[in-house]
Protein backbone atom coordinates (compact mmCIF):
# COMPACT_ATOMS: atom_id res chain seq x y z
CA UNK A 1 0.00 0.00 0.00
CA UNK A 2 1.49 3.35 -1.05
CA UNK A 3 1.16 6.52 1.01
CA UNK A 4 0.33 9.68 -0.86
CA UNK A 5 2.26 12.71 0.48
CA UNK A 6 0.09 15.79 0.82
CA UNK A 7 1.26 19.41 0.48
CA UNK A 8 1.05 19.63 4.29
CA UNK A 9 3.62 16.86 4.58
CA UNK A 10 5.86 18.70 2.08
CA UNK A 11 5.76 21.87 4.15
CA UNK A 12 6.57 19.85 7.26
CA UNK A 13 9.56 18.24 5.50
CA UNK A 14 11.02 21.54 4.30
CA UNK A 15 10.51 23.09 7.74
CA UNK A 16 12.53 20.29 9.35
CA UNK A 17 15.25 20.67 6.69
CA UNK A 18 15.44 24.42 7.32
CA UNK A 19 15.70 23.90 11.08
CA UNK A 20 18.46 21.31 10.58
CA UNK A 21 20.42 23.68 8.31
CA UNK A 22 20.06 26.51 10.82
CA UNK A 23 21.29 24.28 13.64
CA UNK A 24 24.29 23.23 11.54
CA UNK A 25 25.21 26.85 10.85
CA UNK A 26 24.91 27.77 14.53
CA UNK A 27 27.07 24.80 15.50
CA UNK A 28 29.82 25.78 13.06
CA UNK A 29 32.74 27.32 14.98
CA UNK A 30 33.61 30.93 14.36
CA UNK A 31 36.59 31.97 12.30
CA UNK A 32 39.86 31.14 13.99
CA UNK A 33 41.44 34.17 15.66
CA UNK A 34 45.12 34.71 16.22
CA UNK A 35 46.51 33.57 19.54
CA UNK A 36 49.40 35.12 21.44
CA UNK A 37 51.58 32.05 20.76
CA UNK A 38 51.24 32.71 17.01
CA UNK A 39 52.58 36.27 17.13
CA UNK A 40 54.96 36.22 20.11
CA UNK A 41 57.36 33.93 21.97
CA UNK A 42 58.93 33.95 25.42
CA UNK A 43 62.37 35.53 25.25
CA UNK A 44 65.20 33.13 26.09
CA UNK A 45 63.27 30.01 25.05
CA UNK A 46 65.02 29.13 21.79
CA UNK A 47 67.08 26.49 20.05
CA UNK A 48 70.87 26.53 19.62
CA UNK A 49 72.85 25.69 16.49
CA UNK A 50 75.37 22.83 16.69
CA UNK A 51 78.02 21.88 14.15
CA UNK A 52 80.89 19.42 13.80
CA UNK A 53 83.39 17.87 11.38
CA UNK A 54 82.83 14.21 10.63
CA UNK A 55 83.61 11.34 8.29
CA UNK A 56 81.18 9.22 6.29
CA UNK A 57 82.44 5.70 5.58
CA UNK A 58 81.13 2.73 3.61
CA UNK A 59 80.69 4.55 0.30
CA UNK A 60 80.79 2.58 -2.93
CA UNK A 61 83.82 4.28 -4.44
CA UNK A 62 82.12 7.70 -4.44
CA UNK A 63 84.17 9.27 -1.64
CA UNK A 64 86.66 12.12 -1.70
CA UNK A 65 89.82 12.12 -3.78
CA UNK A 66 92.24 12.36 -0.88
CA UNK A 67 95.07 13.70 -3.06
CA UNK A 68 92.95 16.84 -3.58
CA UNK A 69 91.27 16.83 -0.13
CA UNK A 70 94.05 16.49 2.48
CA UNK A 71 91.69 17.02 5.43
CA UNK A 72 89.95 13.73 4.60
CA UNK A 73 93.12 11.70 5.06
CA UNK A 74 94.04 13.78 8.10
CA UNK A 75 90.62 13.14 9.62
CA UNK A 76 90.79 9.38 9.14
CA UNK A 77 94.36 9.38 10.52
CA UNK A 78 93.24 11.18 13.69
CA UNK A 79 90.30 8.79 14.06
CA UNK A 80 92.49 5.72 13.73
CA UNK A 81 94.96 7.18 16.26
CA UNK A 82 92.11 7.41 18.80
CA UNK A 83 91.54 3.68 18.23
CA UNK A 84 95.21 2.92 18.87
CA UNK A 85 96.27 2.57 15.23
CA UNK A 86 99.22 4.74 14.16
CA UNK A 87 100.01 4.99 10.45
CA UNK A 88 103.55 5.69 9.18
CA UNK A 89 104.04 9.21 7.84
CA UNK A 90 104.97 7.84 4.42
CA UNK A 91 101.72 5.92 4.03
CA UNK A 92 99.52 8.83 5.07
CA UNK A 93 100.39 10.82 1.94
CA UNK A 94 99.56 7.85 -0.30
CA UNK A 95 96.14 7.04 1.19
CA UNK A 96 93.43 6.42 -1.42
CA UNK A 97 90.21 6.48 0.57
CA UNK A 98 87.58 6.22 -2.13
CA UNK A 99 84.99 5.01 0.36
CA UNK A 100 85.42 7.90 2.83
CA UNK A 101 84.09 11.46 2.60
CA UNK A 102 84.65 14.49 4.84
CA UNK A 103 81.38 16.12 5.89
CA UNK A 104 79.99 18.91 8.03
CA UNK A 105 77.28 17.85 10.48
CA UNK A 106 74.71 20.39 11.71
CA UNK A 107 71.81 20.15 14.13
CA UNK A 108 69.46 22.29 16.21
CA UNK A 109 69.51 21.74 19.96
CA UNK A 110 65.94 22.49 21.12
CA UNK A 111 65.12 24.39 24.27
CA UNK A 112 64.88 22.31 27.48
CA UNK A 113 66.75 19.40 25.82
CA UNK A 114 68.04 16.83 28.33
CA UNK A 115 70.97 14.37 28.14
CA UNK A 116 69.99 11.24 26.25
CA UNK A 117 67.37 12.95 24.10
CA UNK A 118 67.67 12.22 20.36
CA UNK A 119 67.75 15.00 17.76
CA UNK A 120 67.92 15.00 13.96
CA UNK A 121 71.15 15.90 12.14
CA UNK A 122 71.97 17.09 8.62
CA UNK A 123 75.11 15.86 6.86
CA UNK A 124 76.68 17.76 3.92
CA UNK A 125 79.77 16.91 1.91
CA UNK A 126 82.60 19.44 2.10
CA UNK A 127 84.90 17.76 -0.43
CA UNK A 128 84.54 16.38 -3.95
CA UNK A 129 82.58 13.26 -3.04
CA UNK A 130 80.25 12.19 -5.83
CA UNK A 131 77.61 10.68 -3.54
CA UNK A 132 76.96 10.02 0.14
CA UNK A 133 74.31 7.40 -0.58
CA UNK A 134 74.76 4.23 1.46
CA UNK A 135 77.31 5.79 3.81
CA UNK A 136 77.45 5.82 7.59
CA UNK A 137 78.52 8.74 9.76
CA UNK A 138 81.00 7.70 12.45
CA UNK A 139 80.94 9.24 15.92
CA UNK A 140 81.05 13.03 15.53
CA UNK A 141 81.02 15.54 18.40
CA UNK A 142 78.70 18.50 17.81
CA UNK A 143 79.80 21.76 19.37
CA UNK A 144 78.01 25.00 20.17
CA UNK A 145 79.15 28.60 19.73
CA UNK A 146 81.13 28.35 23.00
CA UNK A 147 83.20 25.39 21.73
CA UNK A 148 81.67 22.90 24.16
CA UNK A 149 80.36 19.50 23.00
CA UNK A 150 76.57 19.31 23.40
CA UNK A 151 75.73 16.19 21.35
CA UNK A 152 77.27 13.15 19.65
CA UNK A 153 76.10 12.15 16.18
CA UNK A 154 76.35 8.77 14.47
CA UNK A 155 74.24 6.65 12.14
CA UNK A 156 73.30 5.69 8.58
CA UNK A 157 72.48 8.47 6.14
CA UNK A 158 69.22 8.84 4.28
CA UNK A 159 69.89 10.43 0.88
CA UNK A 160 66.78 11.17 -1.18
CA UNK A 161 68.36 10.85 -4.60
CA UNK A 162 69.81 8.55 -7.21
CA UNK A 163 72.41 8.80 -9.95
CA UNK A 164 74.34 6.85 -12.55
CA UNK A 165 77.21 7.64 -14.92
CA UNK A 166 79.07 5.91 -17.70
CA UNK A 167 80.82 6.68 -20.96
CA UNK A 168 81.00 10.37 -20.16
CA UNK A 169 77.25 10.62 -19.55
CA UNK A 170 75.64 11.24 -16.20
CA UNK A 171 72.06 11.12 -14.90
CA UNK A 172 71.14 12.40 -11.43
CA UNK A 173 67.90 12.83 -9.51
CA UNK A 174 67.87 15.21 -6.54
CA UNK A 175 70.97 16.00 -4.48
CA UNK A 176 73.47 13.25 -3.64
CA UNK A 177 76.02 15.22 -1.60
CA UNK A 178 73.76 15.88 1.41
CA UNK A 179 71.71 13.62 3.65
CA UNK A 180 69.87 13.41 6.93
CA UNK A 181 69.93 11.10 9.95
CA UNK A 182 66.65 11.10 11.91
CA UNK A 183 67.37 10.93 15.65
CA UNK A 184 71.01 10.67 14.68
CA UNK A 185 72.49 12.48 17.69
CA UNK A 186 72.15 12.22 21.44
CA UNK A 187 72.26 15.25 23.70
CA UNK A 188 75.20 15.19 26.12
CA UNK A 189 74.96 18.56 27.84
CA UNK A 190 72.12 20.79 29.09
CA UNK A 191 71.74 24.39 27.97
CA UNK A 192 70.19 26.38 30.80
CA UNK A 193 67.12 28.38 29.81
CA UNK A 194 66.39 31.48 31.94
CA UNK A 195 62.68 30.76 32.21
CA UNK A 196 62.37 30.82 36.00
CA UNK A 197 64.57 33.83 36.68
CA UNK A 198 62.95 36.91 38.24
CA UNK A 199 59.30 37.67 38.82
CA UNK A 200 58.48 38.50 35.19
CA UNK A 201 58.99 37.26 31.64
CA UNK A 202 59.33 39.11 28.35
CA UNK A 203 57.36 38.31 25.23
CA UNK A 204 59.03 39.11 21.92
CA UNK A 205 56.87 39.70 18.85
CA UNK A 206 57.87 38.07 15.59
CA UNK A 207 57.53 41.42 13.82
CA UNK A 208 57.83 44.90 15.30
CA UNK A 209 54.33 46.43 15.46
CA UNK A 210 53.05 48.83 18.11
CA UNK A 211 49.41 47.90 17.49
CA UNK A 212 50.07 44.21 18.03
CA UNK A 213 52.12 44.92 21.16
CA UNK A 214 49.29 46.99 22.60
CA UNK A 215 46.70 44.31 21.86
CA UNK A 216 48.82 41.57 23.42
CA UNK A 217 49.17 43.61 26.61
CA UNK A 218 45.43 44.36 26.63
CA UNK A 219 44.51 40.68 26.22
CA UNK A 220 46.78 39.66 29.12
CA UNK A 221 45.50 42.44 31.40
CA UNK A 222 41.90 41.54 30.59
CA UNK A 223 42.47 37.91 31.62
CA UNK A 224 44.89 38.24 34.56
CA UNK A 225 44.08 41.71 35.85
CA UNK A 226 45.15 45.26 35.12
CA UNK A 227 48.91 45.78 35.43
CA UNK A 228 49.82 42.17 34.60
CA UNK A 229 51.42 43.18 31.29
CA UNK A 230 53.06 46.30 29.92
CA UNK A 231 54.25 46.97 26.37
CA UNK A 232 57.85 48.23 26.53
CA UNK A 233 58.13 49.02 22.81
CA UNK A 234 56.84 47.78 19.47
CA UNK A 235 58.30 44.30 19.98
CA UNK A 236 58.63 43.55 23.72
CA UNK A 237 55.88 43.03 26.34
CA UNK A 238 56.82 42.61 29.98
CA UNK A 239 54.51 40.20 31.86
CA UNK A 240 54.39 39.56 35.61
CA UNK A 241 54.50 35.80 36.20
CA UNK A 242 54.49 33.43 39.20
CA UNK A 243 57.90 32.44 40.54
CA UNK A 244 57.10 28.78 41.27
CA UNK A 245 57.97 26.52 38.31
CA UNK A 246 54.68 24.63 37.96
CA UNK A 247 52.61 27.79 38.39
CA UNK A 248 54.74 29.68 35.86
CA UNK A 249 54.42 26.93 33.25
CA UNK A 250 50.62 26.85 33.72
CA UNK A 251 50.50 30.64 33.50
CA UNK A 252 52.49 30.71 30.24
CA UNK A 253 50.40 27.89 28.74
CA UNK A 254 47.15 29.76 29.46
CA UNK A 255 48.57 33.10 28.35
CA UNK A 256 49.72 31.76 24.96
CA UNK A 257 46.19 30.53 24.19
CA UNK A 258 44.58 33.96 24.69
CA UNK A 259 42.90 35.17 21.47
CA UNK A 260 43.80 38.48 19.86
CA UNK A 261 41.65 40.85 17.88
CA UNK A 262 42.53 40.64 14.21
CA UNK A 263 44.17 43.75 12.80
CA UNK A 264 44.67 44.98 9.26
CA UNK A 265 48.33 44.54 8.24
CA UNK A 266 50.27 47.48 6.90
CA UNK A 267 50.29 47.73 3.12
CA UNK A 268 53.48 46.26 1.69
CA UNK A 269 54.84 45.24 -1.71
CA UNK A 270 57.79 42.82 -1.61
CA UNK A 271 60.02 42.73 -4.69
CA UNK A 272 62.65 40.06 -5.35
CA UNK A 273 65.12 41.78 -7.67
CA UNK A 274 66.92 38.50 -8.50
CA UNK A 275 63.93 36.42 -9.61
CA UNK A 276 61.48 39.17 -10.57
CA UNK A 277 58.88 37.92 -8.09
CA UNK A 278 56.37 40.46 -6.75
CA UNK A 279 54.08 39.86 -3.76
CA UNK A 280 51.33 42.26 -2.59
CA UNK A 281 49.30 41.90 0.58
CA UNK A 282 45.60 42.66 0.90
CA UNK A 283 46.07 46.21 2.22
CA UNK A 284 47.70 47.57 -0.95
CA UNK A 285 45.67 50.27 -2.69
CA UNK A 286 46.32 52.25 -5.86
CA UNK A 287 45.56 55.87 -6.62
CA UNK A 288 44.64 57.27 -10.00
CA UNK A 289 47.63 57.56 -12.32
CA UNK A 290 48.71 57.31 -15.96
CA UNK A 291 51.56 55.08 -17.14
CA UNK A 292 53.52 54.85 -20.40
CA UNK A 293 56.11 52.07 -20.67
CA UNK A 294 57.92 51.17 -23.89
CA UNK A 295 60.46 48.48 -24.66
CA UNK A 296 63.93 49.16 -26.02
CA UNK A 297 65.77 46.36 -27.87
CA UNK A 298 69.28 46.29 -29.31
CA UNK A 299 70.13 43.70 -31.99
CA UNK A 300 73.71 42.97 -33.08
CA UNK A 301 74.32 40.66 -36.04
CA UNK A 302 77.76 39.60 -37.28
CA UNK A 303 78.38 38.46 -40.87
CA UNK A 304 81.72 36.79 -41.81
CA UNK A 305 83.45 38.35 -44.87
CA UNK A 306 86.09 36.37 -46.83
CA UNK A 307 88.79 38.28 -48.72
CA UNK A 308 90.29 36.15 -51.53
CA UNK A 309 93.39 37.64 -53.29
CA UNK A 310 94.30 37.02 -56.95
CA UNK A 311 96.14 33.81 -57.81
CA UNK A 312 99.47 35.49 -58.71
CA UNK A 313 99.39 38.31 -56.16
CA UNK A 314 101.10 36.35 -53.37
CA UNK A 315 98.54 37.44 -50.78
CA UNK A 316 96.72 35.28 -48.20
CA UNK A 317 93.06 34.63 -47.67
CA UNK A 318 91.65 36.54 -44.69
CA UNK A 319 88.32 36.34 -42.90
CA UNK A 320 86.82 39.49 -41.41
CA UNK A 321 83.55 40.17 -39.63
CA UNK A 322 81.01 42.84 -40.42
CA UNK A 323 78.74 43.88 -37.57
CA UNK A 324 75.28 45.36 -38.04
CA UNK A 325 73.74 47.09 -35.00
CA UNK A 326 70.03 47.97 -34.89
CA UNK A 327 68.18 49.79 -32.13
CA UNK A 328 64.41 49.41 -31.99
CA UNK A 329 62.21 51.25 -29.56
CA UNK A 330 58.57 50.25 -29.32
CA UNK A 331 56.08 53.03 -28.67
CA UNK A 332 54.65 53.18 -25.17
CA UNK A 333 50.97 53.97 -25.00
CA UNK A 334 49.76 56.14 -22.13
CA UNK A 335 47.40 54.02 -20.03
CA UNK A 336 45.25 55.49 -17.29
CA UNK A 337 44.79 53.36 -14.16
CA UNK A 338 41.68 54.07 -12.07
CA UNK A 339 41.78 54.24 -8.25
CA UNK A 340 41.78 50.72 -6.78
CA UNK A 341 40.75 50.14 -3.17
CA UNK A 342 40.94 46.34 -3.17
CA UNK A 343 43.72 43.92 -4.00
CA UNK A 344 41.72 42.32 -6.82
CA UNK A 345 41.29 45.75 -8.42
CA UNK A 346 45.01 46.50 -8.07
CA UNK A 347 45.89 43.18 -9.75
CA UNK A 348 43.39 43.82 -12.54
CA UNK A 349 44.82 47.30 -13.16
CA UNK A 350 48.42 46.06 -13.28
CA UNK A 351 47.49 43.20 -15.60
CA UNK A 352 45.94 45.75 -17.95
CA UNK A 353 49.42 47.14 -18.59
CA UNK A 354 50.54 43.85 -20.16
CA UNK A 355 54.01 44.29 -18.66
CA UNK A 356 56.40 41.50 -17.75
CA UNK A 357 57.39 40.95 -14.09
CA UNK A 358 60.75 42.60 -14.76
CA UNK A 359 58.95 45.65 -16.17
CA UNK A 360 56.61 45.73 -13.17
CA UNK A 361 59.64 46.13 -10.90
CA UNK A 362 60.37 49.50 -12.49
CA UNK A 363 56.70 50.45 -12.88
CA UNK A 364 55.83 49.87 -9.22
CA UNK A 365 58.81 51.90 -8.08
CA UNK A 366 57.80 54.74 -10.39
CA UNK A 367 54.18 54.61 -9.15
CA UNK A 368 55.45 54.74 -5.56
CA UNK A 369 57.66 57.74 -6.38
CA UNK A 370 54.65 59.49 -7.94
CA UNK A 371 52.63 58.95 -4.75
CA UNK A 372 49.96 56.77 -6.34
CA UNK A 373 50.93 53.50 -4.66
CA UNK A 374 49.71 53.39 -1.07
CA UNK A 375 52.13 50.75 0.21
CA UNK A 376 55.65 50.24 1.46
CA UNK A 377 58.13 48.89 -1.07
CA UNK A 378 60.57 46.26 0.22
CA UNK A 379 63.29 44.90 -2.09
CA UNK A 380 64.86 41.57 -1.08
Cα(33)–Cα(61) distance, integer angstroms: 56
194 falls within a domain:
no
pLDDT single digits (tens) 114-143: 999 999 999 999 888 888 888 999 999 999
pLDDT single digits (tens) 149-168: 999 999 999 988 666 555 55
Cα(21)–Cα(29) distance, integer angstroms: 14
Residue 145: pLDDT over 80: yes
Which runs of consecutive H residues, i.e. helices, occur in the chain? 7-27, 36-39, 70-82, 89-93, 210-224, 245-256, 343-351, 357-370
Assess whether 217 and 141 both reside in one domain. Answer: no
Confidence at 24, pLDDT banded by 50, 70, 90? very low
Contact 163, 170 (CB under 8 A): yes
Assess whether 54 and 128 both reside in one domain. Answer: yes
Q: Which residues, at least 6 apart from 348, have a Cβ–Cβ distance to it below 8 Å?
A: 340
pLDDT reported for residue 119: 95
- The number of folded domains in the chain is 3
Confidence at 348, pLDDT banded by 50, 70, 90? confident
Assess whether 249 and 276 both reside in one domain. Answer: no
Cα(261)–Cα(33) distance, integer angstroms: 7
Residue 293: pLDDT over 80: no
Confidence at 373, pLDDT banded by 50, 70, 90? confident
Assess whether 341 and 252 both reside in one domain. Answer: no
Cα(106)–Cα(118) distance, integer angstroms: 14
Cα(262)–Cα(35) distance, integer angstroms: 10
131 falls within a domain:
yes
pLDDT reported for residue 266: 77
Range 44-49 average pLDDT: 90
Least confident piece of the model among 24-33, 70-79, 229-238: 24-33
pLDDT reported for residue 273: 74
Percent of the chain topping pLDDT 70: 75
Range 266-279 average pLDDT: 80
Task: Give Dmax over CA atoms of the chain in angstroms.
Answer: 121
Q: Which domain holds residue 218?
A: 200-256
Contact 205, 235 (CB under 8 A): yes
- The average confidence (pLDDT) of the chain is 79
277 falls within a domain:
yes
Least confident piece of the model among 2-6, 101-105, 132-136: 2-6
239 falls within a domain:
yes
166 falls within a domain:
no
Amino acid sequence: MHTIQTPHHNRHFWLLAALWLLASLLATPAAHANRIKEVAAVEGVRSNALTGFGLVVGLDGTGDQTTQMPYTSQGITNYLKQLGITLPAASIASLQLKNVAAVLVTAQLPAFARPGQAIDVNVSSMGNSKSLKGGMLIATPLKGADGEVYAMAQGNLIVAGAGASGGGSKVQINHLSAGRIPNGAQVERVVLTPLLEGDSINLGLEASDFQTARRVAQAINKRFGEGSAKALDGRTIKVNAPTESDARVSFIAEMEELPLESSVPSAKVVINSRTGSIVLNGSVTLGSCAIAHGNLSVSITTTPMVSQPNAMSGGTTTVTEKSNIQIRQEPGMLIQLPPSNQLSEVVRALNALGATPQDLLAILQAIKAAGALNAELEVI
